[in-house]
Amino acid sequence: MIDLVIVAEKSKYSRNELIHYFLNQLVDTLYKTPFIRVGFIVYCKYAVPLIDLSTEYRNLGKIYAHIPILRGVPEPAKAIYEAVEMLLDLEDQVTLKKKIVLVASFIKEPSISLEDALEYASMNDTRVLIIRAPQKKTHWILAEYEKAPEGIYLRKNNIPDIINELLK
C-alpha cells in the first residue's frame, strides 16, 4: 500500500488552473493503480486537511477548484508538517511507502523553515516530491532543491512524467 498526501498551494502566487489540471490527471491515473490511499491538504498561510488518507479521492480536483484564492504568504512547511502527521496518524502494517507531493509557488520566502520540515519528513521515512507552479519567476527557493530532481517545474507537457516519477 502506498500512502500519498497531496499538498497544494492555493494563492495569488500559484498557477491554480494548472494545479487543478494536474490534480485531475493525477487522480485519473491513481484511480487505475491499486493499493493507493490519498490524502489532500490545501495551504497558503495555514494548512487545511480536506481529505484524510482514503481510497475515495475521486473528487479531489473539484474540491480544489471550489476553494477560493487564499490570502497571506504561503507556508509550505506548515503543510508538510500536517501531511506527515496525517501519514503517521493513519499508518498501519500494510503501508509500504509514504509520499508527499508538495505543489508550491516559492514566490515569497516563508517564515517557517522548509528545510526543517523536509528533514522532519525524511526522519519519518517519507519521500517529498517538490513541484513548482509559480505565476511568475520564483525569487526564493532552497538552492539545493532548485537543481535537485525533486524540484520539478509544473508544465502541461510534463505532467505524465511527474506522475510516473511519483509512482516509482
> What is the pLDDT of the chain when averaged over all its residues?
88
Q: Domain range spanning residue 135?
A: 2-167
Average pLDDT of the residues in 122-144 = 76
For residue 148, pLDDT beyond 60: no
Query: Is the pLDDT assigned to residue 136 strictly greater than 90?
Result: no
CATH number of the domain residue 76 falls in: 3.40.50.410
Task: Name all contacts of 26-31 with Cβ < 8 Å and 24+ positions apart.
Answer: 26/101, 26/159, 26/163, 26/166, 27/57, 27/58, 27/60, 27/61, 29/163, 29/167, 30/4, 30/57, 31/58
For the entire predicted model, the pTM comes to 0.89
Nearest to 86 by CA among 41, 136, 56: 41
How crowded is the C-beta side of 100, counted as CA atoms within 13 Å?
32
Q: Which of 72, 76, 90 is nearest to 42 (CA)?
A: 76
Q: Note the pLDDT tens digit of each residue in 31-57.
A: 888 889 999 999 999 999 999 999 999
Query: Beta 47-54 vs 36-43: how paired, if at all?
Result: antiparallel
pLDDT at 106 over 50: yes
- Among 46, 57, 74, CA closest to 2: 57
In the chain, the number of structural domains is 1
